[in-house]
Amino acid sequence: MPELILSGAYIRGVKETSFAKSFDVNVAISTGAGDVWDAADIAGYLCKLQADERLMFANACAAFYISKIESPTLQEAAKFLKSIEAR
């Protein structure tokens, strides 16, 4: 039987499990996205985003970074989220 492989991020809490799909971008750099993802996850937590929103935001910031080799501002991350579709 073929195996289903999903690309993205999971978070499991006491009452829920969330999954956010990754974004399909042209990769310009393959290192550093984890640091950007962690920072965006923390920022989302501090802004009181729900788990699924926080994961999508962190995935989008990491995708922006690997495609542009720069960390996005909040405005750039929002514009990126509006312009690209999750896989």
pLDDT per residue as tens digits for the range 26-66:
889 888 899 999 999 999 999 999 888 888 899 999 999 99
Residue 13, domain member (yes or no):
no
Residue 79, domain member (yes or no):
yes
Number of domains observed in the structure of the chain: 1
pLDDT in the model for residue 85: 60
Residue 63, domain member (yes or no):
yes
Residue 58, domain member (yes or no):
yes
Domain extent for 45: 27-83
pTM for the predicted model, two decimal places: 0.77
76-84, long-range: CB < 8 A, 24+ apart = 77/40, 81/56, 81/57, 84/23, 84/24, 84/25, 84/60
Residue 12, domain member (yes or no):
no
Report residue 50: phi and psi, to 5°. Answer: -65, 160
